């Protein structure tokens, strides 16, 4: 039994195929989605979407955030920004993290909206660095 997976970015449909399981980075923690899962819509934090086929991870995508919509037979990942893990750029990821840290440090923490935006940006940037492929493990 499989689940129909669709990964959608603001620009296009990136992936549409049946898979065994998907693990998504929910804001409350990672969630494994299998066929027959309860229906839900959840927000995503920055992190990796792991796609499982034949008992192993067949693909990994970094997402900066977005939403996941789950039915018993389908998972739609609607990502703000998404890229194959193998295509992540180490220099760009480090630069984005530095910029996010600077923006956070400059944020008026008494402004709830500004604080939330700066925090979300910092979490996504840190997740991008943390998601670099294993050959970048020296970070």
Quote the tokens at residue 37: 């899962």
Lowest mean pLDDT among 17-21, 97-101, 126-130, 135-139: 135-139
Mean pLDDT of 52-70: 95
Q: Which domain holds residue 47?
A: 3-85
Q: How many domains does the chain divide into?
A: 2
Same domain, 30 and 67: yes
Same domain, 79 and 103: no
Residue 98 pairs with which residues in a beta bridge?
Answer: none
Query: What is the reported pTM?
Result: 0.86
């Amino acid at each position: 039994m499989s689940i129909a997976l669709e990964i959608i970015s603001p620009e296009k449909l990136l992936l549409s195929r049946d898979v065994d399981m998907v693990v998504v980075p929910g804001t409350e923690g990672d969630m494994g989605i299998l066929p027959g899962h309860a229906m839900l819509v959840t927000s995503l934090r920055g992190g990796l979407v792991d796609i499982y086929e034949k008992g192993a991870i067949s693909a990994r995508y970094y997402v900066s955030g977005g939403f996941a919509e789950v039915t018993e037979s389908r998972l739609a990942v609607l990502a703000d920004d998404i890229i194959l893990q193998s295509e992540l750029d180490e220099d760009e990821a480090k630069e984005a993290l530095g910029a996010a840290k600077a923006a956070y440090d400059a944020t008026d923490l008494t402004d709830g909206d500004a604080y939330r935006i700066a925090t979300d940006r910092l979490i996504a940037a840190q997740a991008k660095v943390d998601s670099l492929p294993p050959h970048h493990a020296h970070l």
